Chain A
């Protein structure tokens, strides 16, 4: 079974600074997708960034970028120029899609605090 681990329960960052969130996963598959989701106090899960395992190039979305290390099964998220609105829970998630259906497997989450 696939597992996703986020080893940092909480991270604190100064406004305008950079923070990196760690995520490792375990799978025997070679083709899959990885995601970072943000969950603010409003509860809605918001997709931040996605990575396809077959693509070597790291995904980037504005201030958000990932460091995808397939061999190490590592998928970290870097938030640059942190803003107050970035404060939220961040979840790393794995998805393997197949004929038997698909599902997301989530890590335990990392709470990001942004200090003004």
Chain B
């Protein structure tokens, strides 16, 4: 079956702009989580969505937001981009309650100039 699909793979934006990243989970996976990966901070949890509801949120400013649609696809949005937002954004899907590891997408590399 198809894996987790993230689009776009690469993105270059200017400071102050906003950006929307998309994630399509594995069919049947209703939980979608987002992570930010940077050389300095490592992998940090952004938020998790399940059945269109945000269940968990990491320690990120309000400029970072997300949503999940009825087909479990998820988007995350970053407004008023800062240089420090440059990172690899990873999406992962899972079936809660099974204890299975998350399945990750290939990520979106965001560069803010």
Contacts and interface: CB of A to CB of B under 8 A. Distances in A.
A89 to B, nearest CB: 10
Question: Would you call the interface of chain A mostly helix, strand, loop, or mixed?
Answer: strand
A33 B99 contact: yes
B103 A102 contact: no
Interface in B4-35: 31, 33, 35
Interface in B69-113: 88, 90, 92, 94, 96-97, 99-107, 109
Contacts of B45: 103-105
A25 to B, nearest CB: 14
- Looking at chain A, what size class is its interface with the partner chain? 20 to 34
B42 A109 contact: yes
A10 B33 CA distance: 28
A104 B100 contact: no
Interface string A32-53: 0101010000111111001010
Nearest to A99: B55
A101 B48 contact: yes
Contacts of A102: 31, 48, 55-56, 94, 96
Interface string A92-106: 000101001111111
Contact of A50 (B56, B58, B88, B101): B101
- Looking at chain B, what size class is its interface with the partner chain? 20 to 34
Given A45-B90, A101-B50, A50 B107 contact: no
B55 A100 contact: yes
Contacts of A104: 33, 35, 43, 45, 92, 102
Interface of A: 33, 35, 37, 42-47, 50, 52, 91, 95, 97, 100-109
Given A45-B90, A45-B92, A45-B104, 8 more contacts: A37-B101, A44-B104, A50-B99, A50-B100, A52-B99, A104-B33, A104-B43, A106-B42
Interface of B: 31, 33, 35, 42-43, 45, 48, 50, 55-56, 58, 88, 90, 92, 94, 96-97, 99-107, 109
13 contacts: A43-B88, A44-B107, A45-B104, A47-B101, A47-B102, A102-B31, A102-B96, A103-B45, A104-B35, A104-B102, A105-B45, A107-B42, A109-B42
